[in-house]
């Protein structure tokens, strides 16, 4: 029974980490676009691949957004990422907001697959971690709150 349970868990993990292509619909025109198809052809190391070109950050931390981001981190991120510089499954988060621009972080959170496919730093990280970051299907608001929590974790007051 134990081996069967272990096998089922392994299959579920394998399937859940599969590559998924996100699509969005522009309700004003009814046209559907694929994030991976529309953005994967070009790569900007300052913003990554995705719709976020700039992200306005306040000079001080937005505590409400950071608190919401912490809730998301606990549910969606803490199983793989520590808040220190230690690697768990994925890399630790300490210093992430000083190493990457806000738009890059937002695009990676909301659009990880095309970025992993194009970004040399992410490809090198994948060789160390051996596990692709799954697309958690976070909204832009979720990603922005998570970014604010990352800023808090990095000492922004």
**Residue boundaries of the structural domains of the chain:** 47-157
Please give the residue that has the higher pLDDT: either 99 or 28: 99
Give residue for tokens 């306005």.
Answer: 56
Q: Residues of the chain with pLDDT > 90: what percent?
A: 70
Closest residue by Cα to residue 153 from 75, 38, 74, 56: 74
Q: Which pLDDT belongs to residue 43?
A: 81
CA–chain centroid gap for 74, Å, is 14
Q: What is the pTM of this model?
A: 0.73
CATH number of the domain at 47-157, please?
1.10.760.10
Cβ neighbours of residue 106 under 8 Å, at least 6 residues apart?
50, 52, 55, 140, 143, 144, 147
């Amino acid at each position: 029974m134990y081996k069967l349970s272990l096998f089922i868990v392994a299959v579920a993990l394998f399937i859940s980490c599969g590559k998924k292509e996100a699509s969005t619909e522009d309700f004003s025109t009814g046209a559907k676009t694929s994030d991976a198809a529309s953005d994967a052809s070009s790569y900007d190391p300052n913003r990554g691949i995705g719709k976020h070109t700039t992200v306005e950050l306040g000079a001080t931390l937005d505590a409400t957004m950071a608190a919401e981001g912490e809730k998301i981190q606990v549910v969606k991120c803490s199983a793989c990422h520590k808040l220190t510089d230690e690697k768990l499954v994925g890399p630790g988060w300490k210093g992430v907001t000083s190493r990457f621009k806000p738009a890059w972080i937002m695009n990676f959170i909301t659009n990880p697959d095309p970025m992993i496919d194009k970004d040399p730093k992410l490809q090198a990280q994948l060789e160390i971690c051996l596990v692709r970051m799954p697309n958690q299907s976070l909204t832009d608001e979720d990603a922005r709150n998570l970014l604010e929590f990352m800023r808090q974790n990095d000492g922004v007051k």
